[in-house]
Amino acid sequence: TDLIKSYRQFIKNTYQSSTLNWLYYPLLTGDRSVMSFAQKEQLQQFGISHLLAISGLHIGLMFSIGFFITRSVISCLNFMVKPLGQQLNLSLIYSFGGFLLAFSYVYLSGFIVSATRALIMLGCYLLIYYYAKQALRWRSILFALVCVLLIDPFSLLNPGLYFSFTAVVIIFWVFSVISISRVGLVAIIKTLVILQIALFIGLLPLSLYYFNGISVIGLVVNLVAIPILGFIIMPSLVLFSVLSLGVDISGLIGVFDYLLQHAYQSLLLLPVDYRWLDTSQFSLQWLISSYLAVLIVCFLPWRLMACLPIAVTFFDQYLQPKPRWQLDVFDVGHGTMVLVSNQGKGFIYDLGPVYFNTFTRINSTLVPYLTSMGIEVEVTLVSHTDKDHIGGLTDWLQHGYQHTFRLLQPNGPEQGCKAGEYRFYDLTITVIEPAEHLKSDNDNSCVVHISDGQFSVLLPGDISTKRESQLIAQQSLLKSTVLLSPHHGSNTSSSELFISAVAPELVIHSTAYKGQWQLPHRHVVARYADHNVMQYSTAAHGQIKVAFYSHQYTINRARDDESYWFLKD
The predicted structure's pLDDT at residue 564: 53
Q: Which residue range forms the structural domain that includes residue 49?
A: 2-278
Please check whether residue 459 is in contact with residue 383, taking contact to mean a CB–CB distance below 8 angstroms.
yes
Query: In 3D, which of 207, 215, 374, 206 has the Cα closest to residue 288?
Result: 206
Tell me how far apart the 2 most distant CA atoms of the chain are, in Å: 102
Residue 535, helix vs strand vs coil: strand
Q: Are residues 454 and 535 in the same domain?
A: yes
Q: For 76-90, 98-112, 299-313, which range has the lowest pLDDT when averaged over its residues?
A: 76-90
Residues 145 and 165: beta-carbon distance below 8 Å:
yes
Strand 534-537 versus strand 506-509 pairing type: parallel
CA atoms within 13 A of residue 466's CA, in its CB half-sphere: 13
Stretch 173-192: mean pLDDT: 76
For residues 160 and 117, the answer to whether their CB atoms sit within 8 Å is yes
- Residues 525, 397, single domain; the answer is yes
Task: Indicate if the pLDDT at residue 191 is higher than 90.
Answer: no
Q: Which is higher by pLDDT, 97 or 188?
A: 97
DSSP 8-class letter at 375:
P
Query: HSE of 339 in the Cβ direction (CA atoms, 13 Å)?
Result: 26
**Could you tell me which residues come within 8 angstroms of residue 54 by beta carbon, excluding any fewer than 6 positions away?**
27, 30, 105, 106, 109, 112, 114, 115, 118
pLDDT confidence of residue 176:
81
Please, are residues 472 and 501 in contact by the beta-carbon 8 Å criterion? yes
The overall average pLDDT reported for the chain is: 89
Whole-number Å distance between alpha carbons of 59 and 55 = 6
Q: How far apart are CA 120 and CA 200, in angstroms?
A: 24
Give the bridge partners for 458, in sequence order: 449, 483
Domain termination residue (choose one: 251, 278, 305): 278
Residues 231 and 340 in one domain: no
* 542, 429: one domain: yes
pLDDT tens readout for residues 315-350: 988 888 899 999 999 999 999 999 999 999 999 999
How far is 18 from 187, CA to CA, in rounded Å? 36
Q: CB of 108 within 8 A of CB of 58?
A: no
Angstrom CA distances, 106 to 110, 252, 333, stand at: 7, 27, 36
Q: Going by C-beta distance under 8 Å and a sequence separation of 6 or more, which residues neighbour residue 44?
A: 211, 215, 276
- In whole angstroms, what is the distance from residue 224 CA to residue 230 CA? 10
> Do 196 and 290 fall into the same domain?
no
Rg (Cα) of the chain, in Å, rounded? 29
Averaged pLDDT for residues 375-393: 96
Same domain, 390 and 477: yes
CA 162 to chain centre: 14
Q: Among residues 30, 36, 46, 41, which one has the least CA distance to residue 264? A: 46
Q: Cα–chain-centroid distance for residue 188? A: 34
Q: Do 449 and 348 fall within a single domain? A: yes
pLDDT in tens, 132-160: 655 567 778 888 899 889 988 888 888 88
Peptide bond into 434 cis (omega under 30): no
Please answer whether residues 141 and 165 qualify as being in contact, where contact means their C-beta atoms are separated by less than 8 angstroms: yes
Positive or negative, the Cα torsion across 392, 396, 402, 403? negative
What is the signed CA dihedral for 419, 425, 427, 433, rounded to 10 degrees? -10
- For residue 467, pLDDT over 90 is answered with yes
Domain C-terminal end among 269, 297, 319: 319
Q: Are residues 386 and 313 in the same domain?
A: no
Task: Give the CATH number, domain containing residue 514.
Answer: 3.60.15.10
Strand, coil or helix: 513: coil
Model pLDDT for residues 517-569, shown as the tens digit of each residue: 899 999 999 999 999 999 999 999 999 999 999 999 999 999 887 555 445 44
Q: Work out the average pLDDT over 24-47.
A: 88
Q: What is the DSSP string of 383-452?
A: ----HHHHTTHHHHHHTT-GGGGTTT-TT-GGG----EEEEETTEEEEEE--SS--S-TTTTPPEEEEE-
Q: Which residues contact 129 (CB under 8 A, 6 or more apart)?
A: 136, 140
- In this structure, are 521 and 426 located in the same domain? yes
Residues 132 and 139: beta-carbon distance below 8 Å: yes
- Residues 77, 219, single domain; the answer is yes
- Rounded to an integer, the average pLDDT of 491-518 is 95
Looking at the structure, tell me whether residues 260 and 381 fall in a common domain.
no
| Total domains present in the chain | 3
Consecutive H or E run containing 70:
helix 56-76
Q: Is the pLDDT of residue 3 over 50?
A: yes
- Compute CA 57 distance to the chain's CA centroid, rounded to the nearest angstrom: 21
Judge if 116 and 27 occupy the same domain. yes
Confidence category of residue 76, pLDDT binned at 50, 70, 90: confident
